[in-house]
Amino acid sequence: MIGHGFMGAAHSQGWRVAPRFFDLPLRPEMAVVVGRTGAEASAAKWGWREAAADWREVVQRDDIDVIDVVTPGDTHAEIAVAALEAGKHVLCEKPLANTVQEAERMAEAAERAAARGVRAMVGFTYRRVPAAAFARDLVAQGRLGDIRQVRAEYLQDWLADERAPLTWRLQKERAGSGALGDIGAHAIDLTEYITGQRVTALSGITETLVAERPLLAEGVGLSGTASEQRGAVTVDDVALFTGRLASGALASFEASRFRTGRKNALRIEVSGSRGALAFDLEHMNELEFHDATLPSTEQGFRRILVTEPDHPYLAPWWPAGHMLGYEHGFSHQVNDFVAAIHEGSQPRPSFADGLHVQRVLDAVQRSSAAGSAWTPVGD
């Protein structure tokens, strides 16, 4: 695993726990975690056998089969392409890259590698939340009929305090974009996953609400005191856009890290000719479903508790009604990725899928720069 921190902890949990609950056809060995600083402490804390500082040396090692990339977006392309060319399977955190050009390089490298049996996957982990996967199943079964309208939003408030310090996620050269790529990418991917349709064109706007933030004092972590110096925020704080899906259905999207009171609210509502469903990550074990084919006296949204063994991913876990949490999606991701490697099949979402999402993000930025002009995604 290259990189550590918040995502490093989540991915480590996935690698460690998945083999203990799922009957994996191959057993992952947590060989080495790579980081410029602090990798030794992360290895000891999370169960990696060793730590290293140079990812270039690690991707060339004969005892390494898989590279898991959890670094900031500006390094994804260089690391993933090098790993694929070295014959390593690659799992890469979302968004795939910082630019369309980088994502194209990565997708092309993945296509070349696939011809040699080497697999690549993007870490859009919320696809692996059982309620979200069950929502996709209902749509695929035709329970909603023709999809007419979608509303998707990912809302957080961790930047609502303008005194919060400037981190790499607020710098375009490191993160590529702000709320749009950080959390909006999830809303895009999950909408397309559940509906089975891609966004083809859109009109959007992005906004930076706080233009400058305090710099962290040298050697101080995020929980420490910021210095008196300030630096420019070069990414968006809020992104809003309206899109059209391949069928012609309308979809509205919002990504904000300024929605006071919302901690991690990824919410999607899909409306069709025969029914509707609604999912909220803050109630991740539940799915609301409305069956419009019932008599009017019986209609209305009803809560489905998605904890039964027959629901997606649930069989290996706990008895019905015993809830899963945020970390379980990373174990599901490991299960799916390892199974695809064993079967020699293409894991999803692929780097090509990640490239498409990158093009949607780019279209939002281009539309906003052009005064919210209607903009094709350009796949």
d(CA 113, CA 131): 33
What is the per-residue pLDDT for 222? 46
The whole-chain average pLDDT of the chain stands at 96
30-72 pLDDT per residue, tens: 999 999 999 999 999 999 999 999 999 999 999 999 999 999 9
Sign of the CA dihedral 189, 190, 193, 196? Answer: negative
With a cut of 80, say whether residue 221 has pLDDT above it: no
What is the per-residue pLDDT for 225? 55
**CA dist list (Å): 182 to 122, 175, 368:** 14, 8, 17
174-196 pLDDT per residue, tens: 999 999 999 999 999 999 999 99
pLDDT band at 223; cut points 50, 70, 90: very low
Helix segments in 230-327, DSSP class H? none
Site of tokens 């790529």: 181
The tokens describing 171, both together, are 């710098």
What is the per-residue pLDDT for 218? 59
Where exactly does CATH 3.30.360.10 map onto the chain? 127-348+357-369
Torsion of CA 37, 16, 18, 153, to 10 degrees: -30
Instruction: Name the DSSP letter for residue 247.
Output: T
Query: In this structure, which CATH number among 3.40.50.720, 3.30.70.890, 3.40.50.300, 3.40.640.10 belongs to the domain 6-126?
Result: 3.40.50.720
DSSP one-letter string for 179-241: HIIIIIHHHHHHHHHHHS--EEEEEEEEE-S--EEEEEPTT--TTS-EEEEEEE--S-SEEEE
The answer to whether 197 touches 357, Cβ cutoff 8 Å, is no
**CA dist list (Å): 283 to 276, 293, 315, 330:** 17, 26, 20, 18
Mean pLDDT computed over 103-129: 98
With a cut of 60, say whether residue 224 has pLDDT above it: no
pTM of the predicted protein model: 0.95
The answer to whether 248 touches 262, Cβ cutoff 8 Å, is no
Mean pLDDT computed over 284-306: 98
Where exactly does CATH 3.40.50.720 map onto the chain? 6-126
With a cut of 70, say whether residue 306 has pLDDT above it: yes
With a cut of 50, say whether residue 272 has pLDDT above it: yes
- % the chain with pLDDT above 70: 97
The CATH superfamily assigned to 127-348+357-369 is: Dihydrodipicolinate Reductase; domain 2 (3.30.360.10)
Q: Helices then strands (H, E): number in the chain?
A: 11, 16
